[in-house]
Amino acid sequence: MTRLWLIRHGPTHSRRMVGHIDLPADLSDAAALARLAACLPHAPVVSSDLIRAAATADAIEGGRPRLPHERDLREFDYGDWDHRPFDEIDGPELRAYFDDPGHRRAPNGESWNDVSARVAATLDRLTTGPDLIVVAHMGVILTQWARATGQRPYDALSQRIDNLSLTRIDLASGVPRAVFANRVP
């Protein structure tokens, strides 16, 4: 069995749709980062290759082994919507994307099913030990929460995943089991 310790990166403070755009995280809350690092096992740390996740992983690493960044742990690719203000893109297409997630793709971007499959394959490949710390993005964590709980994508979207929060999912013989979500130490 492998325990996945999933962490959402530090806040970006962006008021835009943030997917593959490479924005930095605000990691000025040293006390929050220290509390988070203190509750983690001594285990390998892997992150998305986007700077907000990679820098958060560096901040909580604390002498743990660091694995190479994984491009396939990136947030959803929102395509034409990425880094645009919400009021510019709000409309029937955006609402349908979130009201009926699964097969719907963002214009020139990805669907929930696309992201879920790429993340699951990556985590399945990386889970070789008893623990793995993964620093990624809200969408990445939600796809795996849905996988572990058996929730439909729409229902999983109601699960809150705060910045610098911890979600744990255990994998036994490739079968995920949800343990807890959105704990902020």
Query: How large a percentage of the chain has pLDDT more than 90?
Result: 98
pLDDT at 104: 96
- Beta-carbon contacts of 162 under 8 Å, excluding residues fewer than 6 positions away, are 8, 182, 184
Residues in the chain: 185
pLDDT at 178: 98
Please name the helix (run of DSSP H) or strand (run of DSSP E) that holds residue 171, with its range, or none: strand 166-172
**Percent helix, strand, coil in the chain (nearest 5)?**
35, 20, 40
pLDDT(46) > 90: yes
pLDDT at 2: 95
- Beta-carbon contacts of 94 under 8 Å, excluding residues fewer than 6 positions away, are 81
pLDDT(80) > 90: yes
Domain boundaries, the chain: 2-183
pLDDT at 121: 96
Question: Collapsing DSSP states into helix, strand and coil, what is residue 66?
Answer: strand
The answer to whether the predicted template modeling score (pTM) of the entire model surpasses 0.85 is yes
Q: Are 185 and 35 in contact (CB under 8 A)?
A: yes
Q: Are 46 and 133 in contact (CB under 8 A)?
A: yes
If you average pLDDT over residues 98-115, what whole number do you get?
Answer: 96
Query: Token pair of 35, please?
Result: 């509390």
If you average pLDDT over residues 37-56, what whole number do you get?
Answer: 98
Distance CA 135, CA 123 (A): 12
If you average pLDDT over residues 144-165, what whole number do you get?
Answer: 97
pLDDT at 163: 98
List, for residues 119-144, the tens digit of each pLDDT value. Answer: 999 999 999 899 999 999 999 999 99
State the angle between helix axes of 138-149 and 112-126 in degrees (0 to 180), rounded to the nearest 10: 80
Q: Are 168 and 180 in contact (CB under 8 A)?
A: yes
CATH superfamily entry for domain 2-183: Phosphoglycerate mutase-like (3.40.50.1240)
pLDDT(174) > 90: no
If you average pLDDT over residues 47-58, what whole number do you get?
Answer: 98
Q: Are 114 and 124 in contact (CB under 8 A)?
A: no
pLDDT at 144: 98
